[in-house]
Structure 1
Amino acid sequence: MDGPSPTTDPLRNEFGSLNDLAHELASLQDLALRGSWRSILDKVSRARSLDLLSKPHDHLIYLSYNVLALTKLRRFTDASAEIDSLHDFNSHQYKYESYPQLYPSRSGSMVPFSLRFIHAQLPFKLENRQEGLDRFYLLLSFIRQKIKEKGSNSFQESIKIWRKRENFVLHCLIGHHLGAKDFIVCLDLIRDLIDHDYLDPVLISKLGYIQMQVGDIEGAKGSFHRVETMFNEGKNDGYSSLSEVEFRNLVNRNKALIYLVGKDYVSAVREYEECIERDHTDVVAVNNKALCLMYLRDLSDSIKVLENSLERVPTVALNETLVINLCSMYELAHVNHSEIKRTLSNWIAGVAPDDFDASCTRA
């Protein structure tokens, strides 16, 4: 919510569990973590039909989970209609101070930040890119206004939360511009952040990636070297929330990208292997190692890398890009690839979350 964070809120002591914050919130959260989006829709529908939601913020939290579930299930029009039913996020009916008997001493918006984010993201899913960009820039402006307000009141923990949100939204904006090959806009957004002393290694790595896209290989090397120096010096502004292992793997993956540009696939494989040895759930390293092996014409080992990853950590490795690549390799390596892909598709049906797009197997 846009009010105080539950972890830093002095009123947090009143609540013993997530369920004290909202009706059966722990159950909703558990279903979301398991990817049981259809069950969430059922639970929300039941709670609404039985009038189990007693407070205004209960309705908003359940609506947020419902919208998230609809979005995950690619029911984007339904998700958009659900959000539109709120009309105006800034309406007085969504502010704590409008209900002093229910929320004594609380103020600010009770609209969850996640709902504001999905509101910005949905137009892209509905193929309205410009509206999506407009909403993201409005969201960024909203966040920066919050940071300004918190700064004047010295709420340091709250500022940190909003700074992380700013960083997250900027990464999304950069991603959307990158997808449209708006490289100059991406570079301007990143450099503006760096000029404001953001020491986010993920952001600077993204700068290096974009520099590679525009052919500035030396600039990319400089950005990647800066990330490695930050790691060696223990510098991280905290907004990216990288663990030490994630930071180390980021450095290795950056090195691998430079090797890939030079078509030194053997060296790139070595970097990705270091990542996987540290963290076998690093799907980017797994996928890219397999691609490098394919470029080295070692299709058999390439397939093994992806298959082993799926066997080892299916809930993590089961992403659509990895499965698409594996199926493409089956098509190159096997005459009876249709049968193999059907077997894979049947296995996926038993372990995948509700939102996994099974059509990516092309079985």
Structure 2
Amino acid sequence: MEPTTTSSSIDTVATTTDTTTIDANISDETISDEAKSLHELAITGSWKTILEKVSTARSLSLLRYPHEHLVYLAFNAVALSKLRRYSEALDDIESSLEDLNSSCYRYESYPHVYPNKCGSMIPFSLRWLHALLPSFLNRRSESVDRLYLLLNFVRSRIDEGFNREVWIRRESFVVSTIISQHSSQKEFVVCFDLINEMLRKDVDNLILLSKLGYVQLQFGDLDGAKSSFQRVEDVAKKNGDEGLSVEVLNLMGRNKALIFMVAKDYVSAIRQYDECIERDESDVVSINNKALCLMYLRDLSDSIKVLENSLERVPTVALNETLVVNLCSMYELAYVNHTDIKKTLSNWIARLAPDDFDPSCTRI
């Protein structure tokens, strides 16, 4: 059982970002009214329904314009990916798209349909999935190559100055995905260099500074991590303590707690996590790590209570596969009849979980 170091998605991006998480937020400037219902289904995790709707739209030839085919392709690929049907998702993308930079995917190629509109109509999520999916099919090097190409594409858009703020966010998103790929292979020096490259452009970015600290911890640079986390606090408090958001306060709290965990000062770490949970009861990272600290202190009973209580209070948030895996591991350590207890948990999860929740994490 590993401590979780961040709550951000790739949605979600941490010391070792969970690359099995496919971002549900595929909003894009190309998504218009005809796809709003699909977007609402994505937010609720109704991925199977999305597949049905896309299939119906395709079979009945309801998609009239080029951009509609691409938007529905994006939703279909995300839904398949969320359901861990990675090969089907990649096949659908590659069989539907030619060269991603082809003129046939540009608005100006259809002036009668999109008058006075220019640029690519390919949703960003499709480009990202096209790059990421090979990593789930034992083609990691191909995926890394595609991600770096995607990063170059994003940076070219930033240089062009088109919708700059959006593309800067996407640059950070792609870099986080690349960091995740390298981190999964323990290539921490590359991660360190990538984060520092981003920090040179955005020196006061609290998330990047925290990630830098996480990576420094991975290769044993405790002093460096402390310095990075202190920098987070200094930047956050530059204009005083007042007005700091709960998100920023909890980021700082989790950073402090992580240093305590590394030092095996679990009591102090729990104190920090308690403060985070008091501010935000849906802070799954703090909940999970508090439970782990209690387990390390051999208080297995309270550790289990922390996770069970979180599932009762905020099930839609706390229903997190890492949390459930840890809870089931604790059941196995604490109870002889752990199989029956896990079956009860599994039945409860089946009633509440979104389509993409992996029931195998209960290990029944």
Q: TM-score, normalised by structure 1?
A: 0.89
**1:92 paired residue number:** 103
Name the CA distance, whole Å, in 1 between partners of 2:194 and 2:133. Answer: 22
Query: Shift of residue 307 of structure 1?
Result: 0.5
Query: Shift of residue 42 of structure 1?
Result: 0.4
**2:42 paired residue number:** 32
DSSP-derived class of the 2:277 partner: helix
**2:295 paired residue number:** 294
From 166, 173, 187, the equivalent of 2:171 is: 166
Residues 97-156 of structure 1: per-residue CA shift (max 9 Å, x gap):
011111111000000001111111101111111011101100000000001111xxxx5x
DSSP-derived class of the 2:112 partner: coil
DSSP-derived class of the 1:137 partner: helix
- 1:278-357 to structure 2, matched below 5 A, reads 278-357=279-358
**1:197 paired residue number:** 202
DSSP-derived class of the 1:331 partner: helix
Indicate yes or no: 2:115 matched with 1:104. yes
Query: Shift of residue 90 of structure 1?
Result: 1.2
Query: Shift of residue 316 of structure 1?
Result: 0.9
Query: Shift of residue 320 of structure 1?
Result: 0.8
The answer to whether the 8 Å contact 1:276/1:286 transfers is yes
DSSP-derived class of the 1:233 partner: coil
Name the CA distance, whole Å, in 2 between partners of 1:125 and 1:200. Answer: 30
CA RMSD of superposed structures (Å): 1.5
2:312 maps to amino acid = E
**1:135 paired residue number:** 146
DSSP-derived class of the 1:269 partner: helix
Aligned identity (percent) is 60
**2:237 paired residue number:** 232
Name the CA distance, whole Å, in 1 between partners of 2:275 and 2:130. Answer: 39
**1:179 paired residue number:** 184
Name the CA distance, whole Å, in 1 between partners of 2:186 and 2:219. Answer: 10
Name the CA distance, whole Å, in 2 between partners of 1:302 and 1:358. Answer: 22
Residues 221-254 of structure 1: per-residue CA shift (max 9 Å, x gap):
000000011111159xxxxxxx811111110000
Residues 69-117 of structure 1: per-residue CA shift (max 9 Å, x gap):
0101111111011110212111111100011111111000000001111
Query: Shift of residue 335 of structure 1?
Result: 1.1
2:290 maps to amino acid = K
Name the CA distance, whole Å, in 1 between partners of 2:103 and 2:213. Answer: 44
Name the CA distance, whole Å, in 1 between partners of 2:354 and 2:90. Answer: 22
1:72 maps to amino acid = K
2:199 maps to amino acid = I
Q: How many residue pairs are counted as aligned between the two chains?
A: 333
Between 1 and 2, higher relative CO (CA 8 Å, sep ≥ 6) is seen in 2
Compared with structure 1, are the counterparts of its residues 22 and 95 closer, same or farther at alpha carbon in structure 2 (3 Å cutoff)? farther
Name the CA distance, whole Å, in 2 between partners of 1:362 and 1:234. Answer: 49
DSSP-derived class of the 2:63 partner: coil
Indicate yes or no: 2:68 matched with 1:58. yes
DSSP-derived class of the 1:74 partner: coil
Query: Shift of residue 198 of structure 1?
Result: 3.9
Structure 1 unaligned residues grouped into runs of 5+: 10-17, 236-242
Query: Shift of residue 199 of structure 1?
Result: 2.4
Name the CA distance, whole Å, in 2 between partners of 1:199 and 1:103. Answer: 40
Runs (4+) of structure 1 moved beyond 6 Å?
none
Name the CA distance, whole Å, in 2 between partners of 1:139 and 1:332. Answer: 45
Compared with structure 1, are the counterparts of its residues 209 and 42 closer, same or farther at alpha carbon in structure 2 (3 Å cutoff)? same
Name the CA distance, whole Å, in 2 between partners of 1:183 and 1:76. Answer: 27
Compared with structure 1, are the counterparts of its residues 234 and 45 closer, same or farther at alpha carbon in structure 2 (3 Å cutoff)? farther
Q: TM-score, normalised by structure 2?
A: 0.89
Residues 244-281 of structure 1: per-residue CA shift (max 9 Å, x gap):
11111110000001101111000000001111111111
Query: Shift of residue 179 of structure 1?
Result: 1.2
